[in-house]
Structure 1
Amino acid sequence: MGFRLVGVAAAMAIAVGTSGCAQLLGGGDKAVPTFDLTAPSDFKAPRSSTAQLVVAAPSALQVLDTERIVVEPKPGQVAYLEKAQWSDRLPALFQARLIQSFENGSRGRAVGRAGDAITPDYTLLTDIRTFGIQAFDGSPEAVVEVYARIVGSASGRIVAGRLFTARVAAAGTAGPDATQALDTASDKIFVEIVDWASGRY
């Protein structure tokens, strides 16, 4: 099926949302087809305050903190696709596309990342719990699960938190099919996170 097992026995969670298509890129290991995630642009999030938001780098288990694309051939059994990779480590790629999604849907609201020359009022923390293909039961499915928290920069208190999950049927476990389904699922998650967060800061 084109994937290799790794020695991890853990349940991974995923954060989601997708509606674009994975794109073949020239970066990364040129011997391996490389794919990107897209950022949704055809939506408008609710406008609330003029507060500034920083999107922190997502946390993720080591099995997800890589360019490799995860597939679960059996429940609790983790593998990587052999002939496909992301254009960057998944947390960095997810953060970049989430920020783009805020920029695309938030009507000019100030948003950035830690280290940018802004003084944030709030920080968005995300934990990528699952981001891969579940290939068991004969029906491969892209699953993304992400937990998000909004934290007040001055108080350090959690303002809001929510779990986001998306599932999208995949045409197969080959690189193009798997990444297209994961891109669609992640786009859904991006839109949901931006809509949710925009009404809370």
Structure 2
Amino acid sequence: MTIRRSLRYGILGLGLTALAGCSTLSSIQSASTPLDTFELTPLPTGVVTTSRSRRQLEVALPTATGALSSDRILIKPTALQIASLPDGRWVNETTELVQLLLVRSLANSGRFALVTSAGLGPPPDFVLMTDLRAFQAEVINDRVTVVISSTMTLLRDTDDIVISSHRFTNSSFVTDTNAESLVDAFDQVMTRQLADVVAWIVRSSGS
């Protein structure tokens, strides 16, 4: 048996449940066995060395495929298979979790007068659109790897002109596939991506 197949069987042996669309997700969420709930951490409050700008930023709810529009912690044992941890979930649906992390991290940067979720607060100067491409653990090159990938687009709100667009992909190998280790890897990867995104937005918006 190859190492790749061994890893895949090892992951599946944890009891990962294959997902077959939103109906399956709903049935999993309604199961009688309670699931451990996990959250990720935003970037901490930074030390602002320049004056806070007067610019306001709105963070839209990210778009994603059906599997990512859930609160399950996803695994891809193969390129075409989607599974989830049987004993853990995110505190919010993945798209809502990412939106919240972006809002808090950008607010904590201290570079904007106001950072809000879509539909909240006064009209913004800029709108951040996010297409969430990957938020899962995968078997890559015979190793389990957490991958977070998203395409960010910064728009000027007054005329919907695209200021900048960039794809961010961050990943990290996982040595243990239990829920706590996987979530810790997700947190480390998301922290790196948030730092990259915040730096890009500050540069692109001139804040």
TM-score > 0.5, shorter chain as reference: yes
Listed as ranges, the gaps of 5+ residues in structure 2 are 1-13, 22-31
Return the letter of the residue paired with 1:169.
Answer: F
Q: How many residues align?
A: 181
Which residue of structure 2 lines up, in the alignment, with residue 40 of structure 1? 43
Identity of aligned residues (%): 24
Q: 1:99 aligns with which of 103, 107, 127?
A: 103
Return the letter of the residue paired with 1:3.
Answer: L
Tell me how far apart the structure 2 counterparts of residues 94 and 120 of structure 1 sit (CA, whole Å): 20
> After alignment, is 48-57 or 119-128 more displaced?
48-57
User: After superposition, what is the alpha-carbon deviation per residue over 1:95-131, rounded to whole angstroms, capped at 9, x for unaligned?
Assistant: 1111110111234532111222222011000111000
Return the letter of the residue paired with 1:97.
Answer: L
Does the alignment pair 1:3 with 2:3? no
Contact 1:35 1:179 in 2 (8 A): yes
Q: 1:61 aligns with which of 57, 65, 75?
A: 65
Does the alignment pair 1:78 with 2:82? yes
Which residue of structure 1 lines up, in the alignment, with residue 25 of structure 2? none
Which residue of structure 2 lines up, in the alignment, with residue 117 of structure 1? 121
Q: 1:170 aligns with which of 171, 174, 178?
A: 174
> After alignment, is 111-120 or 47-56 more displaced?
47-56
Which of the two has higher C-alpha Rg?
A: 2
CA shift for structure 1 position 172: 2.3
- The alpha-carbon distance between structure 1 residues 46 and 186, as it changes in their structure 2 partners (threshold 3 A), is farther
Question: RMSD between aligned alpha carbons?
Answer: 2.1
Which residue of structure 1 lines up, in the alignment, with residue 150 of structure 2? 146
> After alignment, is 156-165 or 70-79 more displaced?
70-79
> Normalized against structure 2, the TM-score is what?
0.80
Please give the secondary structure, in 2, of the residue aligned with 1:140: strand
CA shift for structure 1 position 2: 2.9
Listed as ranges, the gaps of 5+ residues in structure 1 are 9-28
- The alpha-carbon distance between structure 1 residues 94 and 107, as it changes in their structure 2 partners (threshold 3 A), is same
Q: Which has the higher helix share?
A: 2
Structure with more contact order per residue of length (Cα contacts < 8 Å, sep ≥ 6): 1
Contact 1:133 1:173 in 2 (8 A): no
CA shift for structure 1 position 42: 6.2
Return the letter of the residue paired with 1:32.
Answer: L
Contact 1:135 1:173 in 2 (8 A): no
Tell me how far apart the structure 2 counterparts of residues 46 and 54 of structure 1 sit (CA, whole Å): 23
- The alpha-carbon distance between structure 1 residues 30 and 188, as it changes in their structure 2 partners (threshold 3 A), is farther
Tell me how far apart the structure 2 counterparts of residues 198 and 45 of structure 1 sit (CA, whole Å): 12
